[in-house]
Structure 1
Amino acid sequence: MKFLGTGAGEGTPDPFCTCPVCENARRVGGREVRTRSSFMLSDTMLIDIGADYFAQAVMQGVSFADLEHILITHTHDDHLNYTFLWERLVRRAGAEQTLHVYFTGEAYDYINDFYLSAKGVGSEKFLQGVELVRLEHGMTYDIGGWKVTPLRGRHGTAFEKNTANFLMEKGGESLYYALDSGYFLDETFDALAGRRIGTFIMECTNAIIENGAAKQITTFPGGHMDLALCLMTLDRLYESGGITADSRIYLTHISPNRTTHAELCEFLAALDKPYRITAAYDGLEI
């Protein structure tokens, strides 16, 4: 499994920004640079295909030719590049495998209408070899060998009230992918209690550290996480058995708000918690 991108909506460095974090990313490069968030489970399965998917494929030597399943958390353009189906069409129209793209609840209604009304492209041609699939929050589906359950996130768009955060289980493994979530809903905490999740991936959009402590800047409960809310969430999950000391916890969807990757890593390494947290970076394989 691989983090193709770990940035928030603007990426790091933001092309229009000269803040210290963005200037540091330009100067240092490497792990300080973040493209928009995307996570590759395997050659055949992906979560989110956002604004930077072309650059991610080139920079990381990744091919999407064998993709069969793409789970979409929500329709904001840093998570869904609306043009990717056209770009697949021009080279993969004759592909034997069907590409299944999954949207949850109202997101499916919006995206289906959008693609069927795309200017200049007949719907049958545009969706050749593609199946748009509707999921519902709280229901469990067999997708790509995983049991996948979309749970509601506290984040919405103009077209959907709640994002889909994905609880995934396969052969004794468990993974939770929570972008963009905000502080978890009570129903989500209840669904995760006692699950002892093995790999836990969560957004930390505003990873702000001030005077050696995580600073809460988000109006509780927020539509995005800051570092303080991440720790509040993880503490509650640890108490309920949702995560354990052995859980592999990763922060992603990180914006260039006042904290560099190196500073975040230093803070997390010194954190006195019963669980360990890793700041993900583009290209990290787990």
Structure 2
Amino acid sequence: MRVKYLGTAAAEGWPGLFCACQSCKEARKRGGKNIRTRSSALINDGLMVDFPPDTYYHIINFGLDLSQLKHLVITHSHQDHFYTDDLELRRSVFAHLEEGNIMNIYGNRAVVSIMNEILQTIPALNEYLSIHYVPPFETFEAGDIKVTPLLALHARSEDCYIYIFEDGDGKRMLYGNDTGIFPEETWEYIKGLYFNLVSLDCTVGPGKDGNNHMGLPDNIEVKKRLFELGCADEATKFVITHFSHNGGLLHDELVELAKPYGFEVAYDGFEVVV
């Protein structure tokens, strides 16, 4: 399994769009890995997780051709993960596609409701987009990837998801963005499932949250419990992502802080293979 992190920031990006805090000023000054766009990932080149407002920048920056993307998995309906204005461009005359070139979108009831309203308003999109409600804890197939939605601890107005992704070689990833410490239903489901890769929310950086997002102290707690449940061992790769400037630490400082605990710090363009 190959995972490419296209964006690694929280909703406002880093530097924040209108922000004048010291962390954003320093990110502008240093550049490089300190410039973070809104979070999204590409798995095995055929499945994308989330569709942020920075997707157009991602295709330019990383040389992607989304005309052939068939599977888009959405974690929840917040606009930094589900930017529908750009999805509306997957139709004539904005995009020239072959007949039958449909992109499947998978998500919770909120995502499906939003997308269905768009498809009713713009009927031409039905030729190019297909929306699927995926219930929590029910596995489905998206191409050659088995996908299982799990309940996250995030916005209480909808069932936000984190996901299990498993490829044809049996490599398994736990993708845990935009969540606090997992709900008990999720812990119960994953008990005994081994993960080759675990990707965790670290929005608040060195701080602690656990209720809507996580920081490194929460990541350490989650990692410990994954070990206890037989979900991970020393061979499992742990990655942290989805950072906010409010956490204060730039990339190098995050790397220094996370390294003793066995976490790699993702950046825009970071790739991991398991």
Match of 2:37 in 1: 35
**What per-residue deviation string (whole Å, max 9, x for no partner) do you get for residues 210-254 of structure 1?**
xxxxx32x2xx4111122111111111111111111111111111
TM-score by length of 2: 0.92
8 Å Cα contact 2:164-2:175 kept in structure 1: yes
Match of 1:212 in 2: none
Q: What's the offset of the Cα at 1:95?
A: 4.8
- CA 1:285–1:11 in structure 2 vs 1: closer, same or farther (change >3 Å)? same
Find 2:224's aligned residue among 206, 226, 235: 235
Match of 1:198 in 2: 196
8 Å Cα contact 2:149-2:164 kept in structure 1: yes
Amino acid in structure 2 at the alignment position of 1:184:
F
Q: What's the offset of the Cα at 1:36?
A: 0.2
Separation of aligned partners in 1, 2:96 and 2:264? 37
Amino acid in structure 1 at the alignment position of 2:191:
A
- CA 1:250–1:77 in structure 2 vs 1: closer, same or farther (change >3 Å)? same
8 Å Cα contact 1:43-1:66 kept in structure 2: no
8 Å Cα contact 1:93-1:128 kept in structure 2: no
Q: What's the offset of the Cα at 1:106?
A: 4.0
Amino acid in structure 2 at the alignment position of 1:102:
Y
Alignment of 1:52-91 (within 5 A): 52-89=54-91, 90-91=94-95
Check if 1:265 corresponds to 2:255.
yes
Amino acid in structure 2 at the alignment position of 1:98:
I
Match of 1:51 in 2: 53
Cα RMSD, aligned residues only: 1.6
8 Å Cα contact 1:37-1:79 kept in structure 2: yes
Q: What's the offset of the Cα at 1:110?
A: 3.6
Match of 1:108 in 2: 112
Separation of aligned partners in 2, 1:116 and 1:157? 27
Separation of aligned partners in 1, 2:198 and 2:96? 33
Find 1:16's aligned residue among 18, 22, 25: 18
Match of 1:154 in 2: 153
8 Å Cα contact 1:76-1:157 kept in structure 2: no
Separation of aligned partners in 2, 1:102 and 1:95? 21
Find 1:26's aligned residue among 25, 28, 41: 28
Alignment of 1:158-197 (within 5 A): 158=157, 160=158, 162-170=159-167, 171-197=169-195
Q: What's the offset of the Cα at 1:114?
A: 4.2
Separation of aligned partners in 1, 2:109 and 2:197? 25
| Deviation larger for 100-109 or 31-40 | 100-109
Amino acid in structure 2 at the alignment position of 1:165:
I
Separation of aligned partners in 2, 1:69 and 1:205? 26
8 Å Cα contact 1:75-1:157 kept in structure 2: no
Q: What's the offset of the Cα at 1:93?
A: 4.3
Q: Secondary structure at the match of 1:200?
A: strand
Separation of aligned partners in 1, 2:21 and 2:215? 19
Match of 1:129 in 2: 128
Separation of aligned partners in 1, 2:77 and 2:7? 17
Unaligned runs of 5+ in 1: 209-214
- CA 1:132–1:186 in structure 2 vs 1: closer, same or farther (change >3 Å)? same
Q: What's the offset of the Cα at 1:157?
A: 6.2
Separation of aligned partners in 2, 1:22 and 1:106? 32
Q: What's the offset of the Cα at 1:29?
A: 0.7
